[in-house]
Amino acid sequence: MTTYWCEHAQLPDKVHRGVRITVADGRISEVATSTAQRDGDVRLRGVVLPGFANAHSHAFHRMLRGRTHSDGGNFWTWRKQMYAVTSRLDPDTYFALARGVFTEMLAAGYTVVGEFHYLHHGPGGRPYDDPNAMGEALIAAAEEAGIRLTLLDTCYLSGGLSSSGHLPLDEVQARFSDGSVQAWAERVEALRDTDLVRIGAAAHSVRALTRDQLAEFAKAVGDRPVHAHVSEQIGENLTTQMVYGASPVEHLADTGVLGEAFTAVHATHLSDLDLELMGRSGAGACFCPTTERDLADGIGPACELAVQDVPLSLGSDQQAVIDPFEEIRGIEMHERLKSHERGRFSTAALLEMGTSAGYDSLGWDGGRIVVGALADLVAVRTDSRRTSGVALGQIIFGATGADVTDVVVGGRRVVSGGVHALGPVDDLVAESILAVRAST
C-alpha cells in the first residue's frame, strides 16, 4: 500500500486542499480531503490531476516533427512523407523509437495511450518470423516506459478508395496488410493483455476495407475497443458517397461497425444524419486538434457531438505536439473561432475529454480520482512562469506539459521531478530519434 499526499487535487466536484490518496493493488482505495501530511506519505506538490489519456497515437510519426510543416501541400502530400519513414523501421528501431515517444508522453502527463498500429510486416509485406514482432515491440516499449497501452491493432487491406472503387495496395502499404480479415484476426488472437496492456482493434478507414470486409471485421472484433479514422477529409466523404451511396458514418453503421465500443477518430466532416447516428449508436469520437490544424483538415463539430451525447476524447495523432493541455485547449479555442463565443465547454467537460473519456474509449477504468479507479495521477506545477497566479480550477488553461513534475501509473511513480525512471526524458527522446536515423 502507498499513500500520496497532494497539496491540492482535482476531485470530481472541485479542487481540494490536503488530499491523501491511498493506493492498493494499483487502484485508489481511499481519498481523504483536508488532511495533513503524515510520515510515509509521498508528497505531490502543486495540483494533482487524473492521468491524461492519449486516445489516438501513431508513434512512428514522431520522426516527422519539424520536418513537414513549412512546404505547403495538404494531408495527401504529407502522407507521402509519412510513408517514407516506414522504410527505416524494423522491430528493433520501432521499439527504440516508441520507447522514446512513450517516455515523452509520460513526461507531458499522459498515462495511457491508444496506439493505432498498422505497421505490421517487413518490406514488401513479408511477415517477420514472429508475425506480431512489430506489435510486440510497441508492447515492450510501453512496458519499459511504464505507460498504459491499448494496442489498436489495425486491419488495412486496400490502398485507398476512388470513384471507381477500392485501390490495390502500393509497395509501402503492403507492410500494413494481412491480406484478409481472417488472417488479421488470427494474428491478433495471438496477442495477450498484461497489467499495462490491452489489445484493441481498428479498421484503418472506410478507404482501406471493402463493404464485405468491414462487415466481417465487425463480427471478428469481439468485445474489444474498436477505432477507425472517419471523415477526416472531405475527399473521403465524396468517394464513399460515390461508391457506396453513403457517408463514412452511414457506411460504418450499415456494416455493423458503429456501436458502443466504437470510436470515430477525427470525425471532422459530419452531416446532421451522421451526428444522429453517432448519438443513437452510443459511439464516441476522438479529436486530435493539433494534428487537424497542422494538416488543414478542418475543425470538427465538437458542440454538435456533445448535443447528441457523444463522448469526446483526445489524441496527439502525428506527434507534431505531445501535450495534453494543448489538445484540451484546442477543442475550446477552435469552437470559439467558429462561434465567436467563449466558454463553449465547461472546464469540467474539457478535463473529462482529456482524461476519463479517453480511458473509457481505450477500455480502461481510469482518468478519475475516485475510489476504485486506476491510480494514475499527474502533478502539475503552480509556480512556473506559465502557471503562477492561475486559479487551480483553471490550470488546464495555463499549464503545458512542461509543468508536469510527477506522474503515477498504477500507484508507481514513473516520473519524479520531471525525470523519468529510465533517465532524463530529453536524452531518452534524442537517443530514440538517433537510433532510427542511424538505421539507414
* Residues 6 or more apart in contact with residue 120 via CB below 8 angstroms: 127, 131, 132, 134, 135, 175, 176, 177, 178, 187
| Residue 31 backbone phi and psi in degrees, to 5 | -130, 120
Q: What is d(CA 440, CA 157) in angstroms, rounded to the nearest whole number?
A: 28
Beta strands in 297-429 (DSSP E): 312-314, 377-380, 404-409, 412-416, 419-420
Q: Would you call 317 a catalytic residue per the annotation?
A: yes
- Annotated catalytic residue within 166, 227, 266, 334: 266
- Annotated catalytic residue within 317, 360, 376, 406: 317
Per the listing, cell 480550477 goes with: 393
* Residues 6 or more apart in contact with residue 129 via CB below 8 angstroms: none
Strand order in the sheet with 412-416: 27-32, 15-24, 2-10, 42-50, 377-380, 404-409, 412-416, 419-420
Whether 404 contacts 413, CB under 8 Å: no
* Residues 6 or more apart in contact with residue 310 via CB below 8 angstroms: 275, 278, 279, 283, 284, 285
Query: Hey, which residues are catalytic here?
Result: 266, 317
